Structure 1
């Protein structure tokens, strides 16, 4: 009975820590509102990226990551990206914040991609006419050619057997 009570207490403690950690990160809307109020504007399209500090970009990126990967998943992502307080994690959060506000000069890629793996991992280039640049295109081409050849061969052999039995 004591083990069950201890397990329940441990679960409750871990759950409350997770809730507390999630509450300590402000929502995206809160950070967005703070950025707008700092600049004294009421419309998001009026945000001047030059007036947004790296700290605000970082806070916005952290909030975005929490929204996309809440709780323990966010903590795992943070650890994979260098851990709390690391320069690499700070750079990722800043980049996410800038991307969310469309503050990258000359970038046409949105806030979700292509990400750190580049356009190849999710086959971004295939829809843009870049078939021959995509290393996975050749695999797909070979697969479909073999499939069509196999079907054609089976049909040929099927008709050949029928002709031989007559």
Structure 2
């Protein structure tokens, strides 16, 4: 009886290792492509997808990567394939790709941020609220100054009260 239980537990453990090994992605081809430094014009979309999937795994390892894949259409979907290709083009090829999904899920321009490529070929974000940011910085500095002054006045007041009692 003990032998049967032991063999069944051993079988479950071996089976779980096979399932885990089968679920993990093999990124050796993507690593080889990246290490080779091959030109982007020579890469196929399938190779770009592998490279993008590898980069996504580096940014969001394990379950986070699987969750991101599900959010972008699920394994095997055309939208997820396009996301992986765009990640590879942006990171590996250093191309200016317009969003992960043609503008992203919320579109460009949300919260005043616009992505553009400037003439020096540096990718940048332009924030339309820069004037408001300066206003808030000045406001924060004024609040800090007022808090310091109030603190100093309270300390002086407490010192005067302490002197009167003595």
Q: TM-score range by the shorter chain?
A: 0.5 to 0.7
Cα distance in structure 2, aligned partners of 1:146 and 1:20? 58
Equivalent residue, structure 1, for 2:159:
162
Runs of 5+ in structure 2 lacking a partner?
A: 99-103, 114-124
Cα distance in structure 2, aligned partners of 1:3 and 1:17? 21
The offset of 1:120, in angstroms, is 8.8
Higher percent of residues as helix: 1
Does residue 1:150 correspond to 2:147, yes or no?
Answer: yes
- How many residues of Structure 1 are paired with residues of Structure 2 in the alignment? 143
Q: TM-score, normalised by structure 2?
A: 0.57
Find the partner of 1:31 among 30, 33, 36.
Answer: 33
Alignment of 1:4-19 (within 5 A): 13-19=15-21
Does residue 1:97 correspond to 2:88, yes or no?
Answer: yes
More deviation, 84-93/64-73: 64-73
The offset of 1:93, in angstroms, is 0.2
Root mean square deviation, CA, Å:
4.5
The offset of 1:29, in angstroms, is 1.7
Task: Confirm or deny: 8 A CA contact 1:18 1:71 kept in the other structure.
Answer: no
The offset of 1:130, in angstroms, is 5.9
Does residue 1:54 correspond to 2:56, yes or no?
Answer: no
Cα distance in structure 2, aligned partners of 1:137 and 1:11? 60
The offset of 1:95, in angstroms, is 0.9
The offset of 1:61, in angstroms, is 0.6
The offset of 1:140, in angstroms, is 6.7
Runs of 5+ in structure 1 lacking a partner?
A: 37-43, 108-114
Task: Confirm or deny: 8 A CA contact 1:49 1:103 kept in the other structure.
Answer: no
The offset of 1:133, in angstroms, is 2.7
Structure with greater Cα Rg: 2
Cα distance in structure 2, aligned partners of 1:15 and 1:149? 63
Q: TM-score, normalised by structure 1?
A: 0.57
